[in-house]
């Protein structure tokens, strides 16, 4: 409500809190036991949201890079398997 009256009211603090919340949500998905690799893209969305709120957050940057690399690796494996199936 206060923020609606003054859009600049504690904006940096709010952005930091939102970024931290998004990082935690993404990390919960990544750290889930048992792991759910299919949910890594959802975790990446949280990390990207954190980066929109705080573009220099080193944790969000690191987690996003790891998620992107994991997704790329999964896609490469699937592509390889699909090509291998076509040969047989």
The model's pLDDT over 18-49, given as tens digits with 9 standing for 90+, comes to 999 999 999 999 999 999 999 999 999 999 99
When pLDDT is averaged across residues 41-61 and rounded to a whole number, the result is 97
Q: Between 58-87 and 11-30, two packed helices, what is the crossing angle to 10 degrees?
A: 40
Task: Look at residues 45, 54, 55 and name the one whose alpha carbon lies nearest to residue 15.
Answer: 54
Share of the chain above pLDDT 70, in %: 89
Q: Which pLDDT value is given to residue 88? A: 59
Q: Where are the alpha helices (DSSP H) in the chain?
A: 2-5, 11-30, 40-53, 58-87
């Amino acid at each position: 409500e206060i923020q609606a009256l003054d859009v600049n009211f504690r904006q940096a603090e709010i952005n930091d809190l939102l970024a931290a919340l998004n990082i935690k949500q993404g990390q919960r998905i990544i750290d889930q036991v048992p792991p759910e690799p299919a949910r890594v893209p959802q975790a990446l969305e949280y990390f990207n949201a954190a980066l929109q709120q705080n573009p220099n957050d080193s944790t969000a940057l690191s987690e996003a890079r790891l998620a992107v690399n994991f997704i790329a690796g999964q896609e490469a494996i699937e592509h390889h398997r699909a090509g291998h199936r076509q040969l047989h």
